[in-house]
Amino acid sequence: METKRIVSNKKEFNLKKFFFQWEWMLVAVFIIINIINTNLSPYYLSFGGIMDATMTFLDKAFMVLPMVLIIILGDIDISIASTTALSSVIMAVAYNMGLPMPLAVLLALTVGAVCGMTNGILIVKFKELPAMIVTLSTMIIYRGIAYIILEDQAAGKFPSWYSYLGWGYVGKIPFMLIAFILIAVLFGLLLHKTTFGRSVYGMGNNITACRYSGIKTDHIKVAVFTLMGIMASVTALFLTSRTGSTRPNVAIGYEMDVIAMVVLGGISTLGGRGKMLGAVISVFIIGLLRYGLGLINVPAQALMIIIGIILIVAVTIPNINLNGFKKKRLAA
Partner 1 sequence: MSEYILELKGITKIFPGVKALNQVNFNLAKGEIHALMGENGAGKSTFIKVITGVHAPDEGEMYFEGEKVTFKNTRESQKLGIAAIYQHVTNYPDLSVTENIFIGHEKVSPRTKRILWNDMHKKAKELLDSIGANIDPKVQMGTLSVAEQQIVEIAKALSMDAKVIIMDEPTAALTKTESEQLYKIAEQLRDSGVSIILISHRFEDMYRLATRVTVFRDAQYIGCWGVNEISNEKLIFAMVGREMTQLFPPRQGKIGKEVLKVEGLSQTGYFADVSFSVRQGEILALTGLVGAGRTEVCESIFGITKPDKGKIYFEGKEIKINEPLEAMNMGIGYLPEDRQKQGLILQWGIGKNITLSTLSQISKAGWLNEKKEAEVAKTLAEKVTVKATSIFDTADSLSGGNQQKVVVAKLLASELKVIILDEPTKGVDVGAKYAIYEIMRELAKQDYAIIMVSSEMPEVLGMSDRIAVMRDGRITATLEADGISQEKILEFAMLEKE
Partner 2 sequence: MRNISKFREAGLLVFIVILCIFLQLKNPSFLTLENINDLLTNTAILSILAVGMMMVLLTAGIDLSIGSTLALSGMTAALVVSNNPDISPIAAILIGIAVGTVCGLVVGFLVSIVGIFPIIASLGMMNVYRGLTFMSSGGKWVSAHQMPESFKKIATSSILGINTLIFIAIVIYIIFYYFINYTRTGRQIYAVGSNINSAKISGINTKKTLLLVYTLMGSLAGLAGVLWVSKFASAQGDTATGYELNVIAACVLGGVSVAGGYGKVSGLLVGALLLGILNNALPLINVSPFWQSAIQGAIILVAILMNAYIKRRATKENLMRRKI
Interaction site with partner 2 (CB under 8 A)? 76, 78, 122, 126, 128-130, 132-134, 136-145, 147-148, 151-152, 248, 252-253, 256, 259-260, 263, 269-270, 299, 301-309, 311-312, 315-316, 319
Q: What is the DSSP string of 21-55?
A: -HHHHHHHHHHHHHHHHHHH-TTTT-HHHHHHHHH
Q: How many residues bind partner 1 (CB under 8 A)?
A: 31
Among 66, 188, 266, 272, contact with partner 1 (rule: CB under 8 A)? 272
Secondary element (H or E) of residue 306: helix 300-331
When the beta carbons of 12 and 128 are compared against partner 2, the nearer one is 128
**Separation of CA 156 from chain center:** 26
Q: Which does 206 bind (CB under 5 to 8 A by kind): partner 2, partner 1, none?
A: partner 1
State the binding string over 5-34 for partner 1 (x if CB under 8 A, else -). Answer: xxxxxxxx----------------------
Q: Which is nearer to partner 2, 8 or 301 (CB)?
A: 301
Q: Looking at residue 117, what DSSP letter applies? A: H
SS3 171: coil
87 counts as binding partner 1 under rule CB under 8 A: no
Stretch 200-239 residues interacting with partner 1 (CB under 8 A): 202, 205-206, 208-216
Distance of alpha carbon 303 from alpha carbon 52, whole angstroms = 19
Q: Minimum Å distance from CB 210 to partner 1?
A: 7
Task: Give the SS3 label for residue 128.
Answer: coil
Angle CA 326–327–332, to nearest 5: 100
Find the shortest distance in angstroms from Cβ 267 to partner 2.
11
Q: Rounded distance, CA 249 to CA 157, Å?
A: 18
Helix 276-295 with 254-264: angle, nearest 10 deg: 120
Residue type, 131: A
φ, ψ for residue 126 (rounded to 5)? -120, 75
Least gap, CB of 14 to partner 1 (angstroms): 10
Binding site for partner 1 (CB under 8 A): 1, 3-12, 193-196, 198-199, 202, 205-206, 208-216, 272-273
